[in-house]
Structure 1
């Protein structure tokens, strides 16, 4: 399947000089987790200069360097990822998945003759996983078993560092060897924004270090069984808007399956030459 049949044709854009709060409001309004960043040049033409995601915002706002700065003081250009990789509309899904995996990114703007046609994300590519070629695979075949986990009483800044170092966007939260919740980059973003609104500036640097995973994580986590077909998991991710699910086997946590794991399968099945 080629990209132009999968991409979103109405990419959401934001000016590089708008602030992070504007970006988060726009993401919420349009129900997206990333925005293409544009700049208006001296000829009054709009050009792409980067992309900004919820994860980018969470990682930047959670850093000690910016600990006492209000989100409204952050321009989008401060947190965006520059040097965009793009896709041709006739690129196949396997090639697009391979580029995302190799560069640890979640989307590719689709460009033809310097014209922005759309954007293809990991979620868009997951539609491929609902095809017949994928119905013999289960969560147990695809899941990651080498999980990085945290406990509810660990500090949020520590969890943030673990996400950055591992290049991941979610961490299972374990308490007494039981799954107690899950922490995502989106959870961290909302928590840090709320924290910065409520806590006086002079207390922010010290208090943000005392935020715990248990204060922010999602509880009552939805899981999937290791025998769940990949086709069903792709549909669940798309319908619920989740980034993945913890996987259980015989009632115990056995792994985690994410969009990234499904992209690995796409590359394997579709082939990249």
Structure 2
């Protein structure tokens, strides 16, 4: 008998609602042993939110300050770049600006899922897809989330199957 998604998924899935505040989800994530939550409303999967989604709120790429400094007798100035994106003031301002917003403003809505009867190969192709670069895949049955499979779950299963 071949291994199916239902055999390797974690059935007890911690999730968040789409209207939960970003600050609440950040707090829960900081205490969790994983780095993302499915977003569920009325039992239906509506998105997924990860640490990466939340970190992007606090490290915009447009905060590098370029300062031209010329040193005679050089004709061309030398540019020095200073990245201020992670100083305490900016992080605190960004946190205050985003903290009360609902998690739906940063979640990924187009969630890749598998069904409980998906084969090990199907799960592997989803979690090993370099273009998607996802670390977890929700398992959906009749539009309800019944489990989740992480890359770690998959690796453990592949290791057991190899033996």
Fold match, TM over 0.5? Answer: yes
Does residue 172 of structure 1 match 2:62?
no
Go from structure 1 to structure 2 and tell me whether the alpha carbon gap of 1:270 and 1:241 turns closer, same or farther (over 3 Å shift).
same
Distance 1:171 1:161 in 2: 12
Which deviations, in whole Å up to 9, do the C-alpha atoms of 1:130-173 show, x marking residues without a partner?
xxxxx811111101111110011112222122223221111000
Q: Which residue of 1 aligns with 2:68?
A: none
What SS is found at the alignment partner of 1:182? strand
Alpha carbons 1:142, 1:265 under 8 Å: kept: yes
Alpha carbons 1:196, 1:204 under 8 Å: kept: no
Q: Which residue of 2 aligns with 1:251?
A: 143
Alpha carbons 2:45, 2:143 under 8 Å: kept: no
Q: How many residues end up aligned between the 2 structures?
A: 136
Deviation (angstroms), 1:192: 2.4
Structure 1 residues 28-67: aligned runs within 5 Å: none
Which deviations, in whole Å up to 9, do the C-alpha atoms of 1:25-73 show, x marking residues without a partner?
xxxxxxxxxxxxxxxxxxxxxxxxxxxxxxxxxxxxxxxxxxxxxxxxx
User: Bigger radius of gyration, 1 or 2?
Assistant: 2
Higher RCO (CA-CA < 8 Å; seq separation 6+): 2
RMSD: 2.6
Go from structure 1 to structure 2 and tell me whether the alpha carbon gap of 1:263 and 1:181 turns closer, same or farther (over 3 Å shift).
same
Does residue 150 of structure 1 match 2:16?
yes
Distance 2:126 2:93 in 1: 41
What SS is found at the alignment partner of 1:221? coil
TM-score, length-scaled by structure 2: 0.71
Which structure is higher in helix share?
1
Q: Provide structure 1 residue ranges, at least 5 long, that are not aligned to the other structure.
A: 1-134
Which deviations, in whole Å up to 9, do the C-alpha atoms of 1:251-272 show, x marking residues without a partner?
321111110211232343346x
Distance 2:12 2:40 in 1: 14
Which deviations, in whole Å up to 9, do the C-alpha atoms of 1:172-229 show, x marking residues without a partner?
00112211100011111212224996xx958445323223211100013121111110
Deviation (angstroms), 1:233: 1.1
Distance 2:2 2:30 in 1: 34
Alpha carbons 2:58, 2:94 under 8 Å: kept: no
Structure 1 residues 159-238: aligned runs within 5 Å: 159-194=25-60, 201=90, 203-238=93-128
Alpha carbons 2:37, 2:50 under 8 Å: kept: yes
Go from structure 1 to structure 2 and tell me whether the alpha carbon gap of 1:264 and 1:142 turns closer, same or farther (over 3 Å shift).
same
Alpha carbons 2:39, 2:46 under 8 Å: kept: yes
Distance 1:188 1:203 in 2: 15
Counterpart among 139, 147, 155 of residue 263 in structure 1? 155
Q: Provide structure 2 residue ranges, at least 5 long, that are not aligned to the other structure.
A: 64-88
